[in-house]
Amino acid sequence: MKKITLLSTFALCALFTNAQVEENPTTGSCYATEVMQYEAKKDNQGNILPASRQITSRAIGAAQNSDETTSEETINFVALGFGGSITLRMDGPIANGPGDDIKVFETTFNPASSNCNRYPERVAAYASQDNCNWVYLGVRCQDATFDLGELNWAEYIKLVDVSPVDHPFNNSTSDGYDVDGVECLNGPALEPVMQDLNANNATSIVAFSQTTRKDGAPIAAARSNPEQALGAPQSNNTVNFVSLGFSGSITLKLGYVAFDKEGNDIQVIETSFNNPTCGQYAEKANVELSLDGITYFEAGNLCLDGSVDIAATGLTGAQYVRISDRSPASQFSGSADAYDVDGVVVLQPGCSTVQSQRIEDNTWTPDEIAQVSVSQMTIENQVNVEISNTEKAQQINIDLLSIDGRIVSSQRINTNENSTVNSIVDLSGVNAGIYLVNVRGAEMNQSFKVVKH
C-alpha cells in the first residue's frame, strides 16, 4: 500500500485555513467585477452567436436592469447560448445572510419579458469560495435570486444556461440566457474563513431504506448505521460499512458538485471478505446520480467495487448518489445481507485535471492502487510530501501547479521498494494564492490543494 502525507501550513481545500480577507469597502450593493470563464454556445436555430452578444464585460458591474428593446450596438448583456456558461468573480467575498444572497439580472426584450411560459430562458447557478469547489444553488427563469445554501460566503458565481432548446420561444430566435449582471443582496462577508465541505466523499445521508438478509432476518446493528458510508472509505479489517439488504438503497450527498470530466467520475467502494471475484460473490448495485436531489438519472450497474461516468446520465455535474442493491438472492446463503457500502470517492474533485484520490477498493478486495492520508504541521513556506510503503522502486514526479494548471516548479525523486522518502516543495518564491501539489508515479497520481497567504 502506498501512503502520501502532505504537511503544510497552508489550507487543504481550506479546512485548516483561517484566511483573513479584507472587508469589501463597498457600503451598499456589490456586483461581479471579473469574468473568470466564458463559453458561448449556439442559439436555438443552431447559429453561432453574433460577436455583439459575446462581450463579457457587459456581465460585470451594476446591472442596467432593463428589458427595453434596443439595437445590437447598445445591448447591455452577454448571451450564453443554449448550454453555454460564464463564471464571474464578485467584488470580494459576499455574505450568506437572511433570505437569498445574490440576484442575477437577465435581459429578455419586451413584450416577452417576465413571461417564462413564452420565453423560458433558464439558468443553473453555482457558488464557490475558491473557483474550484462548487455548491449547486438551483435553477431559475429570467431575473432570479439564489441563496448560498451551505456556504457561509462566496466569491465566485457560475451560471450555466439550461433553457429548453426545443421550446418555440414565442416563435422567435433565442440565444439562451442573457446575463446583465450579478448583485449581492447581503453585502460583503466580514473576515470570511474558508470552508471545507469535503470535495472527495459523501457528507450526509439523504435517504436510507434497509431491508433484510436473504432469510428475512434483520441485518445486524453493527451493519445498519448509514453514517458508515460517509467520508473516506476506511480500508481496514473492521465492520466500517452499511449493508443495504436485498433490494435496499441509500442516497448520499457529496460535499460539493462533482463535474463530469474525462473518464469515470465517482467510485463506489463495497466490502466483501476474502477477496472474492464477482463470479464468486455477485454483490451488485445500481447507481443513479442527481444534481438537485430530486430528479435522478441512471449511471450504471456495479458488481463489488466500481465506478461510473457522470456523462452517462446526460448531466454535467452531480451532488447526489443513490445506490440500490441488485444482488441476485439465489446466489447467496440465507445469512447474506447483500451490497455493503463502505463509501464513495470523487475521482477527480475540484479543478484538478488529475485523479487526486483514486481508491480502487478497500483492503478486502483485489486491485488496490493507493490509500491517501493528509495531515498538516507548521513549516513556514514549505510543503513536505512524504511517500511511504511503496510496493516497488519507482520514479516520482512532484509538481507545483497554479490553479489554472500552469506548472510553477517540478522535481523528480526515486523511491526504493518498501521505503519512505520526503521531499520539500518550497513556496517562498511564489505569490499568495491557491496551488496544487501533484504527485505522480507508475502507480499513483494524486493532487492536493495548498494556500499560500
Q: Is the pLDDT of residue 346 over 90?
A: yes
DSSP 278: T
Cell of 405: 494548471
Q: Residue 433: what are its φ and ψ, rounded to 5°?
A: 150, -170
Going by DSSP bridges, is the β-strand pair 371-372/3-8 parallel, antiparallel, or unpaired? parallel
| Average of per-residue pLDDT values in the chain | 82
CA distance 144 to 88: 16
CA distance 12 to 349: 13
CA distance 151 to 95: 9
Average pLDDT over residues 314-330: 96
Q: What DSSP assignment string belongs to 417-446?
A: TT-EEEEEEE-TTS-SEEEEEEEEETTEEE
Neighbours of 41 (CB within 10 A): 17
CA distance 10 to 26: 29
CA distance 340 to 240: 9
CA distance 241 to 342: 4
Q: What is the pLDDT of residues 402-440, one digit of tens each?
A: 755 678 888 888 887 777 777 888 888 888 766 777 787
Average pLDDT over residues 304-326: 95
pLDDT band of 443, cuts 50, 70, 90 = low
Q: Give the up-direction half-sphere exposure of residue 85: CA atoms within 13 A in the CB hemisphere.
A: 12
CA distance 188 to 33: 14
pLDDT band of 243, cuts 50, 70, 90 = very high
Q: Is the pLDDT of residue 380 over 50?
A: yes
Q: What DSSP assignment string belongs to 361-373?
A: --TTSS----EE-
Domains along the chain?
3-13+376-452 (2.60.40.1930), 30-184 (2.60.120.260), 202-346 (2.60.120.260)
The pLDDT of residue 28 is 52
Q: Is the pLDDT of residue 79 over 90?
A: yes
Share of the chain above pLDDT 90, in %: 55
